[in-house]
């Protein structure tokens, strides 16, 4: 990703709105950067990940599944 969005591998993000997979108030680590819009967000023990999106809505992981009650989890970068 570019420096304009200020997200890099190993950055720490705090969950500001959780769902079934990400807990509000917990801190998660950014994994591999895919492009200027998508990157990996590591989960339990940093072994698993979901793909996060950075756009005009903010930083979030969106789940397209009927098993997740709230389909988006939102995050903020920890300064």
Q: What is the DSSP letter of 2?
A: -
User: Burial, 13: exposed, middle or buried (Cβ in 10 Å; 0-12, 13-18, 19+)?
Assistant: buried
* pLDDT per residue as tens digits for the range 24-56: 999 999 999 999 899 999 986 657 888 999 999
pLDDT value for 5 = 56
User: Burial, 44: exposed, middle or buried (Cβ in 10 Å; 0-12, 13-18, 19+)?
Assistant: exposed
Full-prediction pTM beyond 0.85? no
Contact partners, residue 72, CB within 8 Å, separation at least 6: 17, 19, 60, 61, 62, 63
Confidence grade of residue 12 (pLDDT, cut at 50, 70, 90): very high
* 76, 16 contact by CB (below 8 A): yes
């Amino acid at each position: 990703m570019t420096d304009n969005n200020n997200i890099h591998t190993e950055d720490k993000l705090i969950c500001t709105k959780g769902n079934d997979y990400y807990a509000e108030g917990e801190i998660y680590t950014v994994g591999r950067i895919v492009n200027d819009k998508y990157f990996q967000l590591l989960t339990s023990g940093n072994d698993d990940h979901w793909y996060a999106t950075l756009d005009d809505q903010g930083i979030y992981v969106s789940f397209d599944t009927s098993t997740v009650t709230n389909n988006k989890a939102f995050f903020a970068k920890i300064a």
